Amino acid sequence: MTFQQSDIEEEYFRLSESEIFTRILERKKELAGRLLILCHHYQQDDLFQFADLVGDSLKLAREAASLHGPEFIVFCGVHFMAESADILAQRHQKVLLPHLYAGCPMADMATAGAVAMAYTNLVHAGVVKDEATVVPVTYVNSSAAVKAFVGERGGSVCTSSNAQRVLAWALEKGEKVFFFPDEHLGRNSAIALGIPSEQICVWRRGELLGGNSVEQLQRARVLLWNGYCEVHMRFLPEHVRQFRLRVPEIQIMVHPECSAEVVGIADRYGSTEAIITAVKESAAGSQWAIGTETNLVSRLQKQFPEKDIHLLAPIPCQCTTMDRNQPLNLLWLLDNLAAGKVVNQIRVPSEVAAQALKSLEQMLSI
């Protein structure tokens, strides 16, 4: 899908931060009842403050599916999240993204064409008799076209909070599971289910048979597309070891997009929502090192000053593509809506949406 972010008029760049904030609040009042702003936990605070609802990918997908009222759903997150909201929304609702280039590089690592080609490869090489025996599972961080591919084949979407459950369901259903695009979430979920390493195979995109022999593929029960999140790859086992040596009481919790080496030695792992809950429920004075996106960790530090919270890595780990959504973009979008002009609408073509909906509904039913 191609799209182009329109230029914001020059007058916007002359506005001070406080003018931008005041005008956003004014627009929200004007559009009250017609507008809902959803916000992912990784957005920076100056945008997050305007959210009506916040959450992880699963919670926001569920909210989008249950909201029947507002005409405009502004999704402060990345492109795939807004696509999922559009697929799940009612027909009269319009889903808008403050900046059209707020995308997820991991989602872009698996195109529907490349995934379809991999399936054809498996059949041609005689690894499986037919495509139907390989159940596809896609992380919600994927395009609507990939979700549609999965829906057409009876597979399911998953998120970081239900990946293990969805994988277990898929393993019961088929001979093999093809998991994309995040190799690490797939491996962490497979390990948690007790799948032995010789039955887990990495499919290297762009390589013939994903860089595997026919025997390796025949033995495998879980095939993992080799996509990754550049932000979560910055957390290393040595960061965990350093914290443990310096602060023996530290509790280390990481997101399952981190590598299996990091997840394996952390105390806990979970989705952004699970991380927030764990910190919230911990006692005053407890010490945490968190392996996930910087904006969320610094918000936790501000929200819970009575706890000692650190980012697990000594370097910034920001989702810079999500951060393309700035308050200025939100104001520009709301100004346009208030003037009767819909900009930055995310519209999944109906034939793609119908198939993608099957894989999203499959997830919501598991």
| Footprint on this chain of ligand 13P (rule: CB under 6 A) | 41, 56-57, 141, 159-160, 229, 257, 271-272
CA distance 56 to 75: 12
177 belongs to the binding site for ligand SF4 (CB under 6 A):
no
Q: Which amino acid is at 174?
A: G
229 belongs to the binding site for ligand SF4 (CB under 6 A):
yes
Q: Are 87 and 348 in contact (CB under 8 A)?
A: yes
Q: Tell me which of ligand SF4, ligand 13P, none is bound by residue 154, counting a contact when its beta carbon lies within the kind-specific cut-off of 5 to 8 angstroms.
A: none
95 belongs to the binding site for ligand SF4 (CB under 6 A):
no
Both tokens assigned to 156: 């399911």
**Residue 110: C-alpha distances to residues 139, 156, 227, 363 (Å):** 11, 16, 7, 19
Q: Determine the distance from the C-alpha atom of residue 197 to the mean position of all C-alpha atoms in its chain, rounded to a whole number.
A: 25
Q: Tell me which of ligand SF4, ligand 13P, none is bound by residue 36, counting a contact when its beta carbon lies within the kind-specific cut-off of 5 to 8 angstroms.
A: none
Q: Which residues ranging from 242 to 281 are in contact with ligand SF4 (CB under 6 A)?
A: 257
Q: Determine the distance from the C-alpha atom of residue 92 to the mean position of all C-alpha atoms in its chain, rounded to a whole number.
A: 25
Question: Closest distance between ligand 13P and the C-beta of residue 77, in Å?
Answer: 8
85 belongs to the binding site for ligand SF4 (CB under 6 A):
no
Q: Which of 74, 104, 333, 343: binder of ligand SF4 (CB under 6 A)? A: 104
List, in order, residues 6 or more apart from 129 with CB less than 8 Å away.
123
Q: Which of 54, 64, 76, 78: binder of ligand SF4 (CB under 6 A)? A: 78
Taking phi over 0 as left and psi of -120 to 50 as alpha, with beta for the rest, 209 belongs to left
Question: Closest distance between ligand 13P and the C-beta of residue 57, in Å?
Answer: 3
Pick 219 or 324: Cβ nearer ligand 13P: 324
CA distance 185 to 199: 16
Q: Which of 141, 159, 226, 271: binder of ligand SF4 (CB under 6 A)? A: 141
Q: Tell me which of ligand SF4, ligand 13P, none is bound by residue 160, counting a contact when its beta carbon lies within the kind-specific cut-off of 5 to 8 angstroms.
A: ligand 13P
Question: Closest distance between ligand 13P and the C-beta of residue 305, in Å?
Answer: 24
Q: Tell me which of ligand 13P, ligand SF4, none is bound by residue 57, counting a contact when its beta carbon lies within the kind-specific cut-off of 5 to 8 angstroms.
A: ligand 13P
Both tokens assigned to 178: 């093809």
CA distance 128 to 132: 9
100 belongs to the binding site for ligand SF4 (CB under 6 A):
no
Question: Closest distance between ligand SF4 and the C-beta of residue 19, in Å?
Answer: 29
Size of the site for ligand SF4 (CB under 6 A): 13
293 belongs to the binding site for ligand SF4 (CB under 6 A):
yes
Pick 31 or 150: Cβ nearer ligand SF4: 150
Backbone φ, ψ for residue 344 (5° rounding): 55, 35
Pick 159 or 344: Cβ nearer ligand 13P: 159
Instruction: Count Cα neighbours of 12 within 13 Å in the Cβ-side half-sphere.
Output: 17
Q: Tell me which of ligand 13P, ligand SF4, none is bound by residue 322, counting a contact when its beta carbon lies within the kind-specific cut-off of 5 to 8 angstroms.
A: ligand SF4
Pick 138 or 212: Cβ nearer ligand 13P: 138
Q: Which amino acid is at 266?
A: A
Determine the length of the chain.
366
CA distance 73 to 197: 43
297 belongs to the binding site for ligand SF4 (CB under 6 A):
no
Q: Are 155 and 138 in contact (CB under 8 A)?
A: yes
> Which residue bears the tokens 């491996």?
187
Q: Are 266 and 235 in contact (CB under 8 A)?
A: no
Question: Closest distance between ligand 13P and the C-beta of residue 83, in Å?
Answer: 13
Q: Three-state DSSP class for 235?
A: coil
Provide the mask over 32-61, with x wherever binding to ligand SF4 is found by CB under 6 A and - wherever it is not.
----------x-------------------
Task: Give just the sign of the alpha carbon dihedral 132, 134, 140, 141.
Answer: negative
Q: By the criterion CB under 6 A, which residues form the site for ligand SF4?
A: 42, 78, 104-106, 141, 229, 231, 257, 293, 319, 321-322
